[in-house]
């Protein structure tokens, strides 16, 4: 048995396998999916209560609040992205599997987005409505939030990989990821405001798309390198 | 014939030099035991062999190639069994094994046969976390057997196992070596096997 | 050349060489900064628009230059350390971060002091350069916090190097996005300094200050890297001999 | 006096310069102190070790 090279499962098999497992786990513990969602909803409720019910002001500040809430909600679930796997030893098994690690890191980020980012995108029209934002901005809100949350999951996976296993990794993670996420926030929130005002939005959407592609190509490699370092 | 060797391995952690200029070599059908008191760096050496840690000096070679240059092929040839089980507590035993088979080649058709033999066949439908520590170790053995990898890396395989469980480890190990596999094992227990054995002692 | 580089990367050589180089850089920077300060404060004529407040640029612009230069130095040496496993490069990155943070802080504060008479507020979100400086400061804090959180030096080196490289990819994007953001805002922006239009009497002190700050940065960096090298090589024979000569005597 | 007032902007200009030189002095002092401390720390540790071995 030792002489012949063992046949490997295909590259995509590993990717699909990790995504499927993480979704399965999220299904077993729905709290992981629902917590960021509730957080998002509660922050969005707090805002009108704090600012007052003035419709004009709500509509004006709505995009910004929506985006900050989405950013913080995505961050909330990032800490456990690799931590659970680290604690039960499955991360070690992933690192020692014959699959290319960047691909597995990409799979983890995709699973994170499916579990935490996608639900936010889906409920965002409701929140936007409660902020009295005009209906014409709904499509742009969802599109930019999609691109933005994907970028955040990827960017956040780098931070999560760097801080996995450290004491107080959670606070550190926010400190590392938030400044890097600034362009996403800026372009996301401004583009939604422009859409709400009825202005052209293509510049912001293109930028977010480009940023998302950049993150998609580079972040998995950074995450993989960070995971190897964190597991020394 | 596969071959694993360590050449002039030196590892320094913080202020302490765990080992310097360590050498070892083993071929198919052979066993290498890593011995030493707690804190002597057994686990660190195991992790260095697996490629999780870069040694400060020297290298680990697999079939005469530095494993850093053939990481994927090397990982395809090894299975890792450590303190932490490496299974998801929320998933059942079968779900866990099925996930693994997507990452590396596993003979899932043989799964049932081996689970019966390891005495965990009746536990396939409950979450992994509900199993006792000893049962979890037995499932970890199932991963070793089902994976078609020549090199087994076992860190303290006897921990948490009763006498019958320890005999099981010996039994599957003997079989693996007889089939031309090889094994590196960190332990502070005497290992008596009718196979060629090397040992490394750490201070 | 190659042997020189090889020699330089050997810690004891670097330690001695840096000690010899620091006074020269320090003296150069002292001269340039002294000239720049005196000429900038007293000899350059007041700007026709900003009056005497423009004299703040003689400290603000060099600080802002350095804040970015330090990040480049940090990211490049982190990359070298990560790829070629050069320990000295990691020491350089570790030394550059706190200096960069200090100069970023300085650029922020002096920018804000300059802005007060110009805009009437201490902080103007509409100015893209100040806003990017603020984010840059957070990036430095993140880098230093990550380094401080990891006990093992080798691991801290490599983890923070990954972060520095990710940050280096992001810094231009951050700058660009902040600029785009404030261009929509129509806020007041500072009159651009530099370019060929500026009078030589005003320009020379600025150039002297920039160069002086750079030399100062090099001197400070060499000093910090020496400390890092001393600490990292604490088990080696040459350090033991250096700090405790009685042992071998 | 005229020099000090800087056409009414004296407070801003002088604060900015004072802060700049303050930060430079802090950087220099911090660097020297760190070096001293690491050096002394290593020295006392080595001395303690060598005395113990005697």
pLDDT-derived band at A218, boundaries 50, 70, 90: very high
Quote the pLDDT of residue A83.
Answer: 92
> How much is the pLDDT for C191?
46
Q: What is the pLDDT of residues B153-179, one digit of tens each?
A: 999 888 888 888 888 888 899 999 998
What is the four-CA torsion angle of A35, A38, A42, A44, rounded to 10 degrees? Answer: 110
A167·C180 Cβ contact <8 A:
no
**Are B169 and B141 a contacting pair, CB within 8 Å?**
yes
Report, as an integer, the average pLDDT of A191-201: 85
Distance CA A169, CA B184 (A): 34
Select the highest-mean-pLDDT range: B7-16, B148-157, D9-18.
Answer: B148-157
* C78 within domain boundaries: yes
The 3-state secondary structure of A134-188 reads: CHHHHHHHHHHHHHHHHHHHHHHHHHHHHHCCCCCHHHHHHHHHHHHCHHHHHHH
What pLDDT score was predicted for residue C195?
A: 44
Give the pLDDT mean for B64-84: 89
Tokens 């002001």 locate to A57
In a domain, C6, yes or no: no
Q: How many other C-beta atoms are found inside a 10 Å radius of the C-beta of residue B37?
A: 9
Asked whether residue C15 is domain-assigned, the answer is no
Highest mean pLDDT among B55-59, B127-131, C73-77: C73-77
- β-pair type (B151-155, B182-186): parallel
Mean pLDDT of all residues in chain A? 88
Task: Kindly state whether residue C11 falls inside one of the protein's structural domains.
Answer: no
Q: How close C116 comes to chain A (CA, Å)?
A: 25
Predicted pLDDT at B118? 86
Mean model confidence pLDDT for chain C:
85
- Complex prediction ipTM: 0.90
Cβ distance B78 to A97 less than 8 Å, yes or no, reads: no
Reported as type and span, the H/E element at residue A82 is: helix A80-88
What mean pLDDT do residues D4-24 have? 84
pLDDT tens-place string over residues A84-132: 999 999 999 999 998 899 999 999 999 999 999 999 999 998 888 888 8
Structure confidence at residue C52 (pLDDT): 74
Query: Which has more confidence, B125 or A4?
Result: B125
To the nearest whole angstrom, how far is the Cα of A188 from the nearest Cα of chain B? 36
pLDDT for C53 equals 76
Report how many domains make up chain C: 1
Q: Tokens 């720390």 belong to which residue?
A: D41
Window from A188-192, C121-125, D10-14, D23-27 with minimum mean pLDDT: C121-125
Band (pLDDT 50/70/90 cuts) for residue A157 is very high
Task: Identify the three-state secondary structure at position B86.
Answer: coil
What residues of chain B, 120 to 149, have a C-beta less than 8 Å from chain A? Answer: 148-149
**Six-digit token string for C37:** 């300060």
**Using CB atoms and an 8 Å cut-off, which of residues 4-43 of chain D contact chain C?**
6-10, 12-13, 15-17, 19-20, 23-24, 26-28, 30-32, 34-35, 38-39, 42-43
Reported as half-sphere exposure (CB side, CA atoms, 13 A), residue B7 has a value of 12
List Cβ neighbours of A134 (8 Å cut-off, separation of 6 or more). A59, A196, A198
Asked whether residue C195 is domain-assigned, the answer is yes
Domain boundaries along the sequence of chain D: 19-54
Query: What per-residue confidence (pLDDT) applies to B79?
Result: 92
Q: According to the model, what pLDDT value does residue C184 have?
A: 60
Is residue C236 a part of any domain in this protein?
yes
Task: Report the percentage of chain B scoring pLDDT > 90.
Answer: 23
The pLDDT of residue C70: 95
Chain D: residue nearest C228 by CA? D35
Q: What is the pLDDT of residue C51?
A: 73
| Residues constituting chain A | 232
- Tell the residue number behind the tokens 């990155």, with chain if given: C93
Residue A8: is its pLDDT beyond 70? no
Closest CA to B146 of B185, B113, B169, B171: B113
User: Which segment of A116-120, B16-20, B161-165, B187-191 scores lowest on mean pLDDT?
Assistant: B187-191
Alpha carbon distance B200, B28 (integer Å): 18
C188-199: average pLDDT = 49
């Amino acid at each position: 048995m030792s002489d012949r090279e063992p046949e490997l499962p295909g590259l995509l098999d590993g990717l699909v396998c990790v995504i499927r497992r993480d979704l399965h786990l999220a299904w077993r513990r729905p709290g992981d999916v629902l917590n960021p969602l509730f957080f998002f909803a509660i922050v969005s409720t707090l805002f009108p209560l704090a600012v007052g019910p003035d419709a004009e002001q709500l509509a004006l500040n709505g995009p910004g609040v929506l985006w900050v809430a989405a950013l913080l909600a995505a961050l909330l679930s990032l800490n456990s992205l690799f931590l659970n796997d680290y604690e039960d030893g499955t991360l070690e098994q992933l690192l020692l599997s014959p699959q290319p690690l960047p691909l597995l890191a990409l799979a983890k980020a995709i699973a994170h987005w499916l579990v935490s980012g996608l639900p936010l995108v889906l409920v965002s029209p409701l929140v936007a409505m409660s902020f009295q934002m005009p209906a014409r901005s709904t499509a742009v809100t969802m599109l930019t939030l999609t691109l933005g949350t994907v970028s955040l999951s990827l960017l956040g996976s780098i931070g999560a990989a760097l801080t996995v296993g450290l004491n107080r990794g959670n606070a550190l993670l926010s400190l590392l990821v938030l400044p890097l996420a600034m362009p996403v926030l800026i372009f996301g929130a401004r583009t939604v405001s422009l859409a709400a005002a009825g202005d052209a939005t293509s510049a912001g959407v293109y930028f977010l798309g480009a940023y998302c592609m950049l993150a998609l190509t580079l972040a998995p490699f950074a995450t993989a390198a960070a995971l190897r370092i964190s597991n020394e | 014939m596969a071959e694993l060797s360590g050449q002039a391995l030196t590892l320094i952690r913080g202020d302490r030099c765990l080992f310097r200029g360590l050498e070892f070599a083993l071929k198919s059908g052979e066993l290498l035991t890593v011995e030493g008191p707690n804190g002597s760096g057994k686990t660190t050496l195991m992790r260095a062999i697996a490629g999780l840690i870069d040694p400060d000096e020297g290298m680990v070679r697999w079939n005469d190639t530095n494993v850093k240059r053939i990481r994927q092929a090397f990982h395809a040839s090894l299975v890792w069994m450590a303190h932490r089980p490496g299974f998801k507590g929320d998933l059942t035993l079968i779900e866990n094994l099925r996930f693994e088979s997507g990452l590396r080649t596993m003979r899932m058709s043989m799964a049932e046969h081996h689970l019966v033999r390891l005495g965990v066949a009746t536990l396939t439908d409950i979450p992994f976390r509900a199993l006792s520590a000893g049962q979890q170790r037995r499932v970890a053995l199932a991963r070793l057997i089902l994976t078609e990898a020549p090199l087994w890396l076992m860190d303290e395989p006897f921990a948490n196992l009763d006498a019958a469980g320890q005999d099981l480890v010996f039994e599957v190990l003997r079989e693996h070596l007889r089939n031309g596999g090889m094994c590196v094992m960190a332990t502070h227990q005497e290992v008596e096997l009718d196979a060629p054995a090397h040992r490394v002692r750490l201070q | 050349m190659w042997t020189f580089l090889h020699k330089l990367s050997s810690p004891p050589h670097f330690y001695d060489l840096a000690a010899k180089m620091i006074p020269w850089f320090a003296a150069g920077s002292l001269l340039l900064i002294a000239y720049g300060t005196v000429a900038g404060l007293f000899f350059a004529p007041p700007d026709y628009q900003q009056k005497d407040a423009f004299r703040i640029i003689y400290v603000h612009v060099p600080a802002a230059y350095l804040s970015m230069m330090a990040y480049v130095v940090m990211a490049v040496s982190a990359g070298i350390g990560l790829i070629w496993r050069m320990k000295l490069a990691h020491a350089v990155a570790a030394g550059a971060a706190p200096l960069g943070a200090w100069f970023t802080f300085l650029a922020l504060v002096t920018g804000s002091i300059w802005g007060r008479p110009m805009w009437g507020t201490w902080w103007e979100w509409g100015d893209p350069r100040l806003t990017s400086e603020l984010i840059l400061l957070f990036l430095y804090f993140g880098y230093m916090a990550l380094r401080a959180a990891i006990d093992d030096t080798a691991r801290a080196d490599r983890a923070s190097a990954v972060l520095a490289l990710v940050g280096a990819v992001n810094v231009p994007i951050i700058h660009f996005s902040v600029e785009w953001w404030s261009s929509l805002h129509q806020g007041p922006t500072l009159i651009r300094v530099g370019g060929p239009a500026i009078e030589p009497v005003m320009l020379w002190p600025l150039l002297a200050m920039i160069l002086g700050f750079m030399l100062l940065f090099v001197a400070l960096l060499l000093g910090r890297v020496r400390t890092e090298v001393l600490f990292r090589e604490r088990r080696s024979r040459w350090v033991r001999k250096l700090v405790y000569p009685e042992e071998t005597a | 006096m005229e020099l000090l007032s800087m056409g009414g902007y004296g407070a801003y200009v002088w604060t900015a310069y004072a802060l700049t030189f303050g930060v430079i002095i802090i950087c220099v002092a911090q660097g020297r102190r760190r070096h001293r401390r690491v050096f002394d720390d290593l020295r006392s540790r080595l001395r303690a070790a060598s005395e113990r071995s005697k």
